[in-house]
Chains A and B, each alone.
Chain A
Amino acid sequence: GEDVEQSLFLSVREGDSSVINCTYTDSSSTYLYWYKQEPGAGLQLLTYIFSNMDMKQDQRLTVLLNKKDKHLSLRIADTQTGDSAIYFCAESSNDYKLSFGAGTTVTVRA
């Protein structure tokens, strides 16, 4: 949706780090999410961060949140070919609905 924006494409070399960026407009967002979609499949939750946190790390994934700038990023360390997918940023506020960005297609090249 228009309230969440992210770049559409990212190409990264295998073994490098990937960084996917997202901006949102709703200052009342409570949770922010990163979902992964592989070809022909539904979306699966990768990780999420509560709005009062500024960083969350989960194995190869690091989420950074700058609430002042309404900027969210997802860093994938040591990117592998299995990380090739579409990554969606999403935010929710008190009404439980999630608003999604357009998705970033990540291509991992050898």
Chain B
Amino acid sequence: DAEITQSPRHKITETGRQVTLACHQTWNHNNMFWYRQDLGHGLRLIHYSYGVQDTNKGEVSDGYSVSRSNTEDLPLTLESAASSQTSVYFCATQYLGGGELFFGEGSRLTVL
């Protein structure tokens, strides 16, 4: 079965460190998204990609970056982690023509 794998599932880091959250999908979907989930805010879009070498900023992109070198992976990098980036991060994929999102299980990040 096709799936979306996020790693690590849980991570604790310190302020100022660089952190990379991995997202790997076997759906062969062109579109990939990163969201963060915070209480009272729901899911907010960080970055998204419509294909290889394509990346776009979402509504809360400051302090985050992504790169898309192949169809399967969209790693999310926090250049210098801040306590405000403590959150649960979800990767999602979508068919080329839009429609429903398929979600990974999430990565819980704590920045101390």
Binding site for B on A (CB under 8 A): 1, 4, 8, 30-31, 33, 40-45, 48, 88, 92, 96-103
Question: What residues on A are CB-neighbors of B100 within 8 Å?
Answer: 33, 45, 48
In the complex, are the beta carbons of B40 and A98 less than 8 A apart? no
| Number of residue pairs spanning A and B whose beta carbons lie under 8 angstroms apart | 56
Q: Known contacts A48-B100, A100-B42; decide if A42 and B90 are in contact (CB<8 Å).
A: yes
Chain B contact patch, size range: 20 to 34
For B35-57 the 0/1 string (1 means CB < 8 A from A) is 10000111111001010000000
Q: A1-B42, A31-B99 are in contact. Are A97 and B106 (CB under 8 A)?
A: no
A42/B99 contact (C-beta < 8 A), A88-B42, A103-B42 known: no
Write the nearest CB–CB distance from B83 to chain A, whole angstroms.
21
- B79 CB, min distance to chain A CBs, angstroms: 23
Q: Which residues of B contact A103 (CB under 8 A)?
A: 42
B42→A43 contact, CB < 8 A: no
A102 and B41 contact, CB distance less than 8 A = yes
